[in-house]
Amino acid sequence: MTSPIATAARRATALLAAALLAALAGCGSPPAKSHPTARAPEGAALSTTRKKADPPGLPGMPPVLDAKDLYAADRPNRLSPVVRNYPSRVYVPNTNSDTVTVIDPKTYRIIRTIPVGNQPQHVVPSWDLKTLWVNDDRGNSLTPIDPATGRAGKPVDVHDPYNLYFTPNGKYAIVMASLDRQLVFRDPHTMKIAKTVPVSCYGVNHADFSADGRYFIVSCEFSGELLKVDTEKMKVIGQEKLPFNGAMPQDVKISPDGKTFYIADMMADGIWVLNGDKFTTPKLLPTGKGCHGLYISRDSKEMYISNRGEGTISIFDFPQNRLTRKWVLPHGGSPDMGGVSADGKVLWLSGRYNAEVYAIDTATGKQLARIPVGSGPHGLAVYPQPGRYSLGHTGIFR
């Protein structure tokens, strides 16, 4: 029989041997926390930190060229190879005449009038820049125009297409079905419905996307509200009533630095300044009667704001964060929607109530031309313009 003293001695010897083996193993291998299999938690923590500091954009969205300037691709005459050989034209949808007037911007002359469906509201460049879609709202169709030839194709059946946008990754077209109270996500080429999103506000009409493309802000004209919509989930994630009795929000545009959304309001006579990420109640900056359209200059330093009710254009300076000037159209007018020429030197706007189009020098504010067109000219598109792809409306390019 083994004595207790002997048993204790053997246990002590075994423990000493185990300790020596562990020490020797430690001398020949890196510490456990430095072993590749032990670094996973550290790597995961680093990954989480990167995502928090630099959130990924919408899957499939082209990378932003400059995080400090979302419009960096829109510099003067920086045309995509897709549009480089397209003739420069101004396309004017005449809502009451059911036509599109085509103007040569060099001569200010009308070169063609295209019959389209009932109540054309906007001429919208497609995401891939290859097609111009005329939104025949009451005609319940989209009429394609080939910008290479200026000829119209066969209309596509689409219900209540008041306005049209495209997701930043080009995956979907989004029809602003104003009277139907719907956002309709469709195939960007065939226009087949992918998902219909009913909304509780009335009169969805204009929109713009966040810097990362993850969400977009929508104006609801007839109920005076704003929506925040998750782009990928195709779901309304926020709704805000504007703090103005009778508000009628219109065009939406994000600032070059991607931090602020501006929403024109034709009844509040100014632009709402909104933090889209927080989606808190915006503040109003008065500009002029009937504030309606918003357009960014080619150097991303200014925004042109059309005041339809008083025939003026207000200039907002981004670096100074304030209004700096106001241009007055001679003999009045009703400047509405439009766009900036490829070289950035001319602002083109439709005269909604005056059956005319205005060409305005962006350096001086001087009116260069006033061109008679059909009745009720609305969402005028200048094409082509610089940019890699189109987000829709009359031309929001990134």
Say yes or no to pLDDT of 338 above 60. yes
Q: Which tens digit of pLDDT belongs to each residue from 115-133?
A: 999 999 999 999 999 999 9
Instruction: Kindly tell me the sign of the dihedral angle through the C-alpha atoms of 57, 317, 295, 271.
Output: positive
Check residue 56 and give its pLDDT.
Answer: 77
Mean pLDDT score, 155-164: 98
Range in 23-32, 182-191, 308-317 with the lowest mean pLDDT: 23-32
* Contact by Cβ (8 Å): 144, 124: no
Say yes or no to pLDDT of 234 above 50. yes
Mean pLDDT score, 11-30: 38
Q: Which tens digit of pLDDT belongs to each residue from 373-396?
A: 999 999 999 999 999 999 999 999
Identify the three-state secondary structure at position 26: helix
Identify the three-state secondary structure at position 101: strand
Q: Which tens digit of pLDDT belongs to each residue from 27-84?
A: 333 333 333 323 332 233 323 333 344 457 999 999 999 999 999 999 999 999 999 9
Higher-confidence position of 263 and 25: 263
Q: In the structure, what pLDDT confidence band is assigned to residue 252 with cuts at 50, 70 and 90?
A: very high
Distance between CA atoms of 239 and 220, rounded to whole angstroms? 10
Check residue 55 and give its pLDDT.
Answer: 57
Q: Which tens digit of pLDDT belongs to each residue from 125-156?
A: 999 999 999 999 999 999 999 999 999 999 99
Pairing of strands 173-177, 163-166: antiparallel
Written as one string, the DSSP assignment of 328-394 is E-TT---EEEEEE-TTSSEEEEEETTTTEEEEEETTT--EEEEEE-SSSB-B-EEES-SSS-B-BTT
Q: Which tens digit of pLDDT belongs to each residue from 258-289?
A: 999 999 999 999 999 999 999 999 999 999 99
Q: Residue 35, by phi and psi: left (phi above 0), alpha (psi -120 to 50) or beta?
A: beta
Residue 317, Cβ neighbours under 10 Å: how many?
A: 14
Give the amino acid at 371: I
Check residue 52 and give its pLDDT.
Answer: 46
Mean pLDDT, the chain, rounded, equals 89
Check residue 325 and give its pLDDT.
Answer: 97
Distance between CA atoms of 230 and 62, rounded to whole angstroms? 18
Spell out the CATH class of 72-383: mainly beta
Higher-confidence position of 114 and 4: 114
Mean pLDDT score, 6-30: 39
Distance between CA atoms of 200 and 243, rounded to whole angstroms? 18
